[in-house]
Amino acid sequence: MSAILLLVGVFSSITATQSIGVCYGVSGDNLPSRQEVVDLYKTNGISRMRIYYPDEEALQALRGSNIELIMDVAGETIQSLTNPDVAIDWVNTYVTPYSDVKFKYINVGNEVHPGDAVAQYILTAMTNIQNAISLTNLQGQIKVSTAIDGTLITNSYPPSNGAFTSDATTYITSIINFLAENESPLLANVYPYFAYVNDLQNIDLAYAIFNQQGNNEIGYQNLFDAMLDSIYAALEKVGASNLQIVVSESGWPSEGGTGATTENADTYYANLISHVSGTSGTPMRPGVSIETFLFAMFDENHKLGAETERHFGLFFPNKTSKYSLNFN
């Protein structure tokens, strides 16, 4: 009897396990070819990829690979997709011809903020892409979403107090209704690293890299769960308690700023992989593994901004792994 129960438990945790995704940015002048990159995903057992625009060379390389894909609409294309015919063309150019590429999500807008000029176009562009996908009968397989960042969330501690800022509420509510109607998840880029460096007085490094021992007073073992649950709490406050979140980016830089060391990054990625692949979930969403995309495949020497931005790679451009991670 107990042996049977144990087996059932083992099998159900196997089926619930999530495989890891890795974001593939190309803002570097020294990166391997698209085909070499797809091969590197395969040899490392990385079965999901995010790309940031319809990169036709990458799509060619992905044919038949079985790698599940998040494909972003290029930021500069979003406004044009408010024309339904342009959205149909977009799908007919970048999606339909690649029937042997496993598109999972089309992402419209990465870290768009309510005050950005492009914000007014996001919902219409999402709707038009969704309609164009429905015309090809792929709506069951390919979901349309948008990727938010942490600046849309306020009162994130304790996580149950999490809410969208008032600007963000106006912006996101209609988008969230769209996601719920289409049974699409919300994508969220979740960076304990930035939360940590922005609040060194209150946040322990150990808590940010999953090394905290024991419970803090509200039951959170790590900052990642706390940040994710603050978004779930925000969704509940706008009536979207059933919406799923996919973590569309998370990572830790190996150099260039406070706490940015190879050792900390190795610890963060290894612990994140084991946490999201398991079925512990978060305190607000226990028992479910968390679909997560690590940021990013390579160090990208052309990334702008802080020095850390150029050191998020899991691999050096010469394809040597920076860390000893096991992706499956």
Ligand X SMILES: *[C@@H]1O[C@H](CO)[C@@H](O)[C@H](O)[C@H]1NC(C)=O
Could you say which of 111, 183, 255, 291 is catalytic?
111
Residues that bind ligand X (CB under 6 A): 316, 318, 320
Task: Note if 263 is an active site residue.
Answer: no
Closer Cβ to ligand X, 183 or 255, answer by number: 255
Closer Cβ to ligand X, 32 or 278, answer by number: 32
Report the nearest approach of ligand X to the CB of residue 32 (Å): 12
Could you say which of 249, 255, 307, 309 is catalytic?
249
Residue 135 to residues 84, 91, 131, 235, 274, Cα–Cα distance (Å): 12, 10, 6, 30, 39
Report the nearest approach of ligand X to the CB of residue 158 (Å): 41
Report the nearest approach of ligand X to the CB of residue 302 (Å): 16
Task: DSSP letter for 289, please.
Answer: -
Report the nearest approach of ligand X to the CB of residue 28 (Å): 12
Closer Cβ to ligand X, 11 or 316, answer by number: 316
Closer Cβ to ligand X, 215 or 318, answer by number: 318
Q: What share of the chain is helix, strand, coil (3-state, %, to 5)?
A: 40, 15, 40
Q: Which residue has the tokens 């398991």?
A: 278
Question: Which are the contacts of 94, defined by CB distance < 8 A and separation ≥ 6?
Answer: 54, 56, 59, 71
DSSP 154-202: E--SSGGG-EE-HHHHHHHHHHHHHHHHTTPPEEEE--HHHHHHT-TTT
Task: Note if 111 is an active site residue.
Answer: yes
Residues with catalytic roles: 111, 249
